[in-house]
Amino acid sequence: MNCKTIKKRFLTDYVEGNLELDQKTLVEDHLANCLQCREHFGEIQRIASLLKSYTVADPGEVFWDGLTSKIYSRVNKKKPAQKKPWEILQEWMTWKRLVYTATPVLLILLLLFPAHHFYQSHFSELTSQENVLTVEEIGNEFLLIDEYLIQMPANQLEKFVQKMAWLILSPEVLAWPEYFDGLGLGTDEEIFQMRKQNLDLLAKRLHEV
Amino acid sequence: MNDLILVEKFKGGDRTAFKELVLKYQKEIYFLACRMVFNKEDAADVVQETFVQVFRKIHQFRSASTFKTWLYRVAINRCKNFLRVLKKNRELAPIENYAVTDPKDSQLDLLLKNERVDLIGETIEKLPKKQKAVLILRTYHELSYKEIAEIVGGSVNSAKVNFYHAIENIKRLVGK
Ligand SMILES: [Zn+2]
């Protein structure tokens, strides 16, 4: 096993003592023979224990009581938890599928239009980041995309939708559950609502076209 | 009482069940938020927002995950949202701008000796959001990588890699 594998694959679990015996032996054999990795592990362990010393003081009972009552007073202004119309909509599979499908489709199509430099640069910037985007971040990016589509000139938009139709119905896109879950449109009310509005706007514009 | 029973009661309109969930979890969500947003007043706001969201979105919770991981997910998203707004107002130097050099041991020793707790907080503050979330959930909330993956999204392995990168980045930042 080389140093890179040791560091990438086993470091975290080794430091935390989560490795199976045979893997542990492999790591320890390597460490015994590699000064560089040994030093590296030492540092990682020290940082891990250093982190533990970062404590947050308990603000005390008065604070907690205050926090609890602030939460209660904020939710008391709201209606009791109840299914909202859009939540029912969301559970309606066809509609849900349409919304969830439209998004990857839009992204794919945007990449097919070489003229839209904005998108290309924007998208590659997004995907090149080492960190996977969070649900909310993805949602926000889609809002940007919607905005762009809404402003797209009529003739381009028309072409766009012609190409979109077969993709929306494509079984590959529909059977992409990981993507649907990852988009998390259903887990963020505001983004879902805004997207719904945007899609309505888009539909309206298409009607005009 | 078991979380899932409380959630079911709350879904059925029982507000005392919601109160029980608040009392049970507000402390840990507050500590989570303190480290995520690095400011106590803001953390208290984030906790409020989190439970308001829980109140409004409880119907979206499916017992495929535990209530706890779902709650943490809502909280982490509130924190990230807060940080995004904050970042717009106060441009922080991104982590790429920090020199990638190996730390001199003396500086790490100094940090260890002085127990510069505030400095640790400041260092965590500079991490990319996902690394920061993974590091905090693992170190201070002792959640499993499986739970962390459910909370921040992605695979178990990507949670581990993010933890590793977080520690590496702290090493670099501390070593500056
Ligand atoms: Zn080595």
**Cβ–Cβ of B139/A52 closer than 8 Å?**
yes
Residue of A nearest to B78 (CA): A136
Give the 3-state secondary structure of residue B63: coil
What is the domain range of residue A120? 89-132
Q: Answer yes or no: is A39 within a domain.
A: yes
Q: Are residues A29 and A40 in the same domain?
A: yes
In a domain, A190, yes or no: yes
CA gap A105, A165 in Å, rounded: 9
Domain count, chain B: 1
A57 belongs to a structural domain: no
User: Does any domain span residue A72?
Assistant: no
Give the pTM: 0.63
Look at residue B156 and tell me if it is in a domain.
Answer: no
User: Which positions in chain B touch A137 (Cβ < 8 Å)?
Assistant: 80
- B34 min Cα distance to partner chain A (Å): 7
Tokens 């400041």: give the residue: B122
Nearest to A50 among B18, B111, B130 (CB): B111
B171 alpha carbon – ligand 1 mean position (Å)? 18
Smallest Cβ–Cβ distance between B48 and the set A13, A46, A71 belongs to A71
In-domain check, residue A59: no
Tell me how far apart the alpha carbons of residues A117 and A104 are, in angstroms, rounded to a whole number: 18
- Range of the structural domain that residue B6 is part of: 1-93
Whether residue B70 has pLDDT greater than 60 = yes
B65 to chain A, any CB pair closer than 8 A? The answer is no
Residue A203 located in a structural domain: yes
Would B123 be classed as within a structural domain? no
**Listed ranges A14-18, A21-25, A81-85, B91-95; the one with the highest mean pLDDT:** A21-25
B30 vs B48: CA distance, rounded Å? 9
Cα-flanking dihedrals φ and ψ of residue A107, to 5°?
A: -60, -45
Q: Do residue A117 and residue A145 come from a single domain?
A: no
Do A106 and A149 fall within a single domain?
A: no
Q: Is the pLDDT of residue B69 over 50?
A: yes
* Chain A environment of B115 (Cβ under 8 Å): 53
List the single best residue of B11, B23, B48 to mutate versus A (max A Cβ within 10 A).
Answer: B48
Amino acid symbol at A136: E
Chain segment A39-91, per-residue pLDDT in tens: 888 888 888 888 888 888 899 999 999 999 999 998 887 654 455 444 444 44
Domain assignment present for residue B17? The answer is: yes
Return d(Cα A63, Cα A130) in angstroms, integer.
39
Contact A189 B160 (CB under 8 A): no
Pick B26's closest partner by Cβ from A47, A68, A189.
A68
Number of domains in chain A: 3
Contact B23 A83 (CB under 8 A): no
Q: What is the whole-number distance in angstroms between the Cα of residue A23 and the centre of ligand 1?
A: 15
CA-based nearest residue in chain A for residue B150: A182
Query: Is B28 a domain residue?
Result: yes
Instruction: Select the more confidently predicted residue: A153 or B79.
Output: B79
Q: Does residue A75 fall inside a structural domain?
A: no
Structural domain contains residue B140: no
Looking at the structure, tell me whether residues A140 and A128 fall in a common domain: no
User: Which residue among A50, A83, A131 sits closest to B59, beta carbon to beta carbon?
Assistant: A83
Q: Is residue B108 situated within a structural domain?
A: no
For testing the chain B interface, which of A43, A52, A137 should be mutated: the one with the most B CBs within 10 Å?
A43
Where residue B35 sits, what CATH number does that domain have?
A: 1.10.1740.10
Residue of higher predicted confidence among A198 and B98 = A198
For residue B160, the tally of other CB atoms under 10 A from its CB is 23
Please check whether residue B122 lies inside any domain of the structure: no
| Closest residue by Cα to residue B43 from B29, B57, B25, B24 | B29
Relative orientation angle of helices A35-52 and B156-175, to the nearest 10 degrees: 90
| pLDDT of A68 | 95
8 Å CB contact of A81 and B108: no
Q: Are residues A158 and A179 in the same domain?
A: yes
Q: What are phi and psi of A34, to 5 degrees?
A: -130, 105
